[in-house]
Amino acid sequence: MFSQKRILTKVALAVLASGLTLSAHAVTTLKLSHNGDEKAPVHIAMKHFADLVKDKTHGEVRIRIYPNGQLGNQRESMELLQNGALDMAKSNASELESFDADYGAFNVPYLFHDREHFYRALESKEVGDKILDSSRQYGFIGITYYDAGARSFYTKKAINTPADLKGLKIRVQPSPTAIKMVELMGASPTPIPYGELYTALQQGVVDGAENNINSITTYRHGEVAKFFNLDEHTMIPDVLVISTKTWDKLTPEEQTAMKQAGRESMEYMKQIWSENVDAEMKKAKDMGVTIVTVDKAPFIDAVKPMHDEALKNTAIADYVKAIDALAQ
Ligand code: GCU
Q: Order the strands of the 290-292 sheet from edge to edge.
A: 188-191, 169-172, 208-211, 151-155, 227-234, 290-292
Gap between the Cα atoms of 94 and 218, Å rounded: 20
Strands (E), 157-270: 169-172, 188-191, 208-211, 227-234, 238-243
DSSP H helices in 207-316: 213-217, 244-249, 252-286, 297-302, 304-312
Which residue puts its alpha carbon closest to atom 10 of ligand 1?
Answer: 194
- Report, as ranges of residue numbers, the positions in the chain whose pLDDT lies below 50: 1-5, 7-23
The answer to ipTM > 0.95 is yes
**Nearest ligand 1 atom to alpha carbon 193:** 13
Ligand 1 mutation target, pool 39, 92, 198, 266, most atoms within 8 A of CB? 92
- Name the CATH code of domain 151-235+280-318 (choices 3.20.20.80, 3.30.360.10, 3.40.190.170, 3.90.550.50): 3.40.190.170
Q: What is the pTM (predicted TM-score) of this model?
A: 0.92
**Centre of ligand 1 from the C-alpha of residue 172, in Å:** 10
What is the pLDDT at residue 25? 67
| DSSP-assigned letters across all residues of 87-119 | SEEEEEHHHHTTT-GGGGGGGSTT--SSHHHHH
Number of Cβ atoms within 10 Å of the Cβ of 98: 15
Gap between the Cα atoms of 281 and 196, Å rounded: 23
**Centre of ligand 1 from the C-alpha of residue 176, in Å:** 15
Superfamily of domain covering 4-147+237-279: Bacterial extracellular solute-binding protein, family 7 (3.40.190.170)
What is the pLDDT at residue 10? 47
| DSSP code, position 202 | H
Gap between the Cα atoms of 111 and 191, Å rounded: 22
**Centre of ligand 1 from the C-alpha of residue 4, in Å:** 34
**Centre of ligand 1 from the C-alpha of residue 62, in Å:** 25
**Centre of ligand 1 from the C-alpha of residue 312, in Å:** 27
Which residue puts its alpha carbon closest to atom 13 of ligand 1?
Answer: 194
Gap between the Cα atoms of 208 and 289, Å rounded: 13
* Closest C-alpha to 139, from 33, 246, 240, 46: 246
Ligand 1 mutation target, pool 32, 35, 76, 151, most atoms within 8 A of CB? 35
- Residues with Cβ within 8 Å of 4's Cβ and at least 6 positions away in sequence, in order, are none
Gap between the Cα atoms of 130 and 106, Å rounded: 13
The segment(s) of the chain belonging to CATH 3.40.190.170 are: 4-147+237-279, 151-235+280-318
Number of Cβ atoms within 10 Å of the Cβ of 28: 20
For the CA atoms of 142, 94, 32, 77, the dihedral, rounded to the nearest 10 degrees, stands at 120
What is the pLDDT at residue 24? 57
- Ligand 1 binding residues, C-beta < 6 A: 35, 74, 92, 148, 173, 194, 211, 238
**pLDDT tens digits for 191-211?**
999 999 999 999 999 999 999
Gap between the Cα atoms of 93 and 37, Å rounded: 19
**Nearest ligand 1 atom to alpha carbon 171:** 12
Ligand 1 mutation target, pool 145, 211, 218, most atoms within 8 A of CB? 211
**pLDDT tens digits for 268-317?**
999 999 999 999 999 999 999 999 999 999 999 999 999 999 999 999 99
**Nearest ligand 1 atom to alpha carbon 210:** 12
Gap between the Cα atoms of 106 and 118, Å rounded: 9
